Structure 1
Amino acid sequence: MGPVRRRLTVAAAVLPTPALAEVCDKERPGWVPGTQATAWTEAVYLFSITPSIILLVLTVLCLLFRSLWGSMIIIILWLGLATIILTDGPTDPTGIHALALKEGCIASPALFIAAVAAICMAMILNLLPRRQRPS
C-alpha cells in the first residue's frame, strides 16, 4: 500500500458518512441513508411532530374565532415549543444531537423558528380591531 492510498483510507475512515451514522437512527428514525437534511426537510419534520400539529389546529381555531385569550395561550405554547427545540441540541449531554448534525441527518431549525415567529405575528395582527369603512 502506498502512502497516498494509506492517507485516503485514513481520511475516508475519519470523515463522517451517512452510511456509518448510527446516531441518525436515534435522532431521525425514518431517515434514509445517503440523503442530506436541509432547512426545508427539517421544518417539515418539526411541523409534523405531534405538538406542532396540535398547535397548528389550535392556531386555526383561534384565528377563526378571534379569541384573545386563546391566541395568547397558543402564542406562549408556540414560543415554548420553539425554545425547547432550540435548547434541546446544545444541552444534549450524550452528544448525539451534535453528531447527527455533523453527519447531516438533521439540519438547523432556523426556518421552523422563522415560521413560528410569522405564525405568532399573524395571530397578534388578527386580534387588532378592524377598521370600519366610511360610508
Structure 2
Amino acid sequence: MGPVRGGLILSLLAGPALAEVCDKARPGWDGVPVTALDEALYLFTTPISLFLIAALATAVVFRHAMGAALVALLWGFFITSLILPDQTGTSAAAITEGCAASPALYIALSGAICLAAVIYTARREKRL
C-alpha cells in the first residue's frame, strides 16, 4: 500500500482526533464511543427534558388528564426536533464520530412514559 492510498484511507476513517464536530456537539466528550443508553441518559438530563418530567409528574400527581396530554404533546414536539433532518449534518457527523448515538431508546422510553401517564390520568366511567 502506497503512501497516497494509506493517507486516503486514514483521512476517511472517523476518529476522535479528527472530530471537530464533537467539540461543538459534546464539549465534554472523553473519546469513548457513546452507547444508546448513554445517549438516552444525556437526553433525559437536558433542561427541557427535566422540565417535561417535572410537568408530567405534576399532572400525574393531580390526575389531570388534559395536563398529561398537553405535556405529552410538548414532549412530542421536542422529539420531533430531535428526529427532523439536520441541514448542517452535525448530528449525523456526531453519530459517525462516536460522540453521539441514535436517540431511538430515548424516544421509545419517552413515548412509553407519556402513554402510561395519559392512560393513568384518563377519566374512567363509574360502574353501578
TM bucket normalised to smaller: 0.7 to 0.9
Taking structure 2 as the reference length, the TM-score comes to 0.87
Match of residue 90 from structure 2? 96
**Residue 6 (structure 1) shift:** 5.4
Percent of residue pairs identical: 40
Measure the CA separation in 2 of the matches of 1:104 and 1:120.
29
CA shift for structure 1 position 68: 1.7
After the TM superposition, list the runs of 4 or more consecutive aligned residues in structure 1 that deviate by more than 4 angstroms: 129-132
Q: Which amino acid aligns with 1:78?
A: W
Aligned match for 1:106, one of 87, 100, 106: 100
Deviates further, 3-12 or 60-69: 3-12
Q: How many residues align?
A: 128
**Partner Cα separation in structure 2 for residue 118 and residue 27 of structure 1:** 27
Quote the RMSD (CA, aligned, Å). Answer: 2.2
Match of 2:61 in 1: 64
Larger radius of gyration between Structure 1 and Structure 2: 1
Report the equivalent of 2:38.
41
User: Residue type of the partner of 1:47?
Assistant: F
- Mark the runs of 5 or more structure 1 residues left unpaired by the alignment: none
User: For residues 68 and 130 of structure 1, what CA distance do their matches in structure 2 show?
Assistant: 11
Q: Deviations over 1:50-77 (max 9, x none)?
A: 1000001111111111012211211111
2: CA distance, partners of 1:81 / 1:49:
11
Structure 2: give runs of 5+ residues left out of the alignment.
Answer: none
What is the DSSP-based 3-state SS (H/G/I as helix, E as strand, rest coil) of the residue aligned with 1:72?
A: helix
TM-score (norm 1): 0.83
